[in-house]
Amino acid sequence: MGIYKRLITLVGSHGVAPENLRLLSSHGVMPEPSTVFRRGMRQVVMSQAALDAAAERRRRKRKLRMDPPLSALERNRAYARANRDPNMPEPINVLVGDRLSLHNYVQSLCRGGRLDDALNHVRKTQFQRIRPTIFTYNSVLGNLHRAGEHDKVVALFDFIRQVGVIPNLVTYNIVLGTHADRLDMDKAFSMLEMIYGAKMTPSTVTFNHLMKAHFRLEKYEEVMRLFKEMLEKCYGADPPTYAATIEGFVNGGAMDQATELYMQMRERGSLFSEPVFCNLIKGYFAAGRVQEALDVFEFIPEKLERTVMSYNAVIDGYCKSGRVAEALEFMGRMRENNISPDAASYAVLMSGYIGQGNLAEAEKLFRSMGEKGCASAAVVYNTLVDAYFKQGMIAEVGNLIEEMVEKRCEPDALTYNLLIDGFVHAGKFEDSLRLFRKMIEASFKPDIAIYNKVFGHLCNERKIDEVNKLFQDMVEGGQNPDITTYDILTDGFDREGRIKEANLLFENILEKGGTLSEELATRLRLREPNVSGGGKSMTETQMPNPGFVEKPKVEAAM
């Protein structure tokens, strides 16, 4: 009956009066169904079918206790936003829509190294309709912290608080880490008090920053106090935190504190990691407590499976203690347990032989690596290169590097440093430069620190044209100079009397927001920029104008 009533209403709207339809129906006569009429019938039937299907879906959802529709969630979220405590940080669900797009754009600027642009953008958009979230600010703060821009981190944090954005724990940790890196412990602890004042629970990251700073200050008792506070406030410590803390005590020679933490881990049943054991073994050997080191090694299988890392720690300890025979015996035990020595194992043992003045035995061990199925690596070559330079065996160094290149064994930063310093001290800088260029031609890319070392030696040799050529090759190869590069080059041009080139570099770095050393900047400001210097002049069009990478002033945050 309900369908019939809806049909009367529908066809009435298409030109057939309901009274006429009822009259025809009472006499048993129905009009010829038109196209409009048939369409109306289909709509009525389909509408009823849709209503029935919807009712069935609701019945099944109630029976299965399924989640409410998304619209209900949206209403609850809006209610939560309206009733959120204004003193609490923003939740993660605010990072949607236009604010998410803004966040992604700022992150892209940071990934591209455009930190100043990212910083200016978040400051500008804070006063626009689409404002950055605290998560966007944290992204900029974190990148500034890693770049060593400590003053900018503190300034942005002050700006965040001034405009009413509530910091979260990540924000506080970044700023605390900045103060800790600068060893400004009063401000670092003031940040910890702010965390407690905001009714937040500090994380292991918070205490790691503080402990790392106290390790640098060699205040080991304060480190232990902080570690105990962390266990009390943070519901324990994870294996990386234990490993990093024990490593700090070991490097500082504070083995009593390291042992206390180790025994605490055993009592608590904490999760062990191999670096924890290796650091303890290293520390006990350095302190002459060999038996305690071996006890730690024997305890490892109770917690995890021993790998080549653990064996190498014992071999290294024996070699540094002058007990090479026992180290060699331990390597045999390693093979008996079906663990193959790696390149680091051989490098450590070779260093032991070299330390005893037995270079021939170290060379013999090096040649046996291929026979025993262990491929040579840069760490092995570095051991021999260093020994050859100390013995004055310059020709052997050249042959070894030729072999390294032929075997496609990629050198690391230590290889470059050993070669450059070794040849320079031997009075053969030309050989050093020749090998350096050969390695670049072989597609080995040194980092900016190695380039700076070469630039420094070239400037000392007064080969400023060679500096210019190598600098342009470096930039064309995709390596960006840092503040140290500009400082070395500007000083080199200035000392050669090529004031125009020095001032062009000086202006370039000022445009990029960098600063030279105070002594060099003062010296350049006192010179006339248009004084012509000796030697071949580099015109303004020849001068590369790349962006520089600010050199980090401190280590990365823990």
**CA separation for the pair 145, 174 (Å, rounded):** 7
More confident residue, 124 or 545: 124
Query: What letter represents residue 550's amino acid?
Result: E
The confidence score (pLDDT) of residue 84 equals 54
Tokens (6 digits) for 379: 């760490």
**Which residues are registered as beta bridge partners of 301?**
none
CA atoms 87, 88, 92, 93: torsion sign: negative
Query: What is the per-residue pLDDT across 200-240, written as a single tens digit (0 to 9) for each?
Result: 989 889 999 999 999 999 999 999 999 988 888 876 777 78
DSSP 3-state of 482 = strand
Q: Looking at the predicted structure, is the pLDDT value of residue 529 above 60?
A: no
Burial of 10 (0-12, 13-18, 19+ CB in 10 A): middle
The confidence score (pLDDT) of residue 36 equals 47
Cβ(457)–Cβ(424) below 8 Å:
yes
**CA separation for the pair 431, 436 (Å, rounded):** 8
The confidence score (pLDDT) of residue 552 equals 41
Cβ(391)–Cβ(359) below 8 Å:
yes
Cβ(548)–Cβ(512) below 8 Å:
yes
Tokens (6 digits) for 247: 């490593």
Cβ(3)–Cβ(44) below 8 Å:
yes
Query: What is the per-residue pLDDT across 28-83, written as a single tens digit (0 to 9) for each?
Result: 555 555 544 555 555 555 566 677 777 877 777 776 655 544 444 444 444 445 44
Report the range out of 227-236, 243-252, 500-509 with the highest average pLDDT. 243-252
**CA separation for the pair 496, 464 (Å, rounded):** 8
Share of the chain above pLDDT 70, in %: 74
The confidence score (pLDDT) of residue 34 equals 54
Tokens (6 digits) for 27: 């006499």
The confidence score (pLDDT) of residue 546 equals 46
**Which residues are registered as beta bridge partners of 549?**
482
DSSP class of residue 553 equals S
**CA separation for the pair 489, 455 (Å, rounded):** 7
Closest Cα partner for 229 from 190, 203, 268? 203
537 contacts: CB under 8 Å, gap ≥ 6? 498, 500, 501
**CA separation for the pair 108, 111 (Å, rounded):** 5
Residue 29 CA, distance from chain mean position: 85
Cβ(227)–Cβ(261) below 8 Å:
yes
**CA separation for the pair 167, 146 (Å, rounded):** 19
As a whole number, the mean pLDDT across the chain is 78
Closest Cα partner for 254 from 222, 290, 278, 206? 222
Q: Average pLDDT of 6-27?
A: 50
The confidence score (pLDDT) of residue 13 equals 47
Query: What is the per-residue pLDDT across 255-275, written as a single tens digit (0 to 9) for each?
Result: 999 999 888 888 877 677 888
Closest Cα partner for 314 from 352, 278, 355? 278
**CA separation for the pair 381, 369 (Å, rounded):** 12
What are the helix and strand counts (H, E) for the chain?
A: 29, 0
Q: Average pLDDT of 160-165?
A: 93
The confidence score (pLDDT) of residue 405 equals 79
Query: What is the per-residue pLDDT across 320-371, written as a single tens digit (0 to 9) for each?
Result: 988 999 999 999 888 888 888 888 999 999 999 999 889 999 999 888 887 6
The confidence score (pLDDT) of residue 500 equals 75
**CA separation for the pair 227, 210 (Å, rounded):** 10
Residue at token pair 């048939």: 38
DSSP class of residue 302 equals G
Angle at 78 between CA 75 and CA 82, to 5 degrees: 140
Residue 124 CA, distance from chain mean position: 27
CA dihedral 79, 82, 84, 90 (to 10 degrees): 100
Question: What is the pLDDT confidence band of residue 550, given thresholds at 50, 70 and 90?
Answer: very low
Q: Which range, of 234-243, 289-298, 302-311, 462-471, averages the lowest pLDDT?
A: 234-243
Q: Looking at the predicted structure, is the pLDDT value of residue 167 above 90?
A: yes
DSSP class of residue 549 equals B
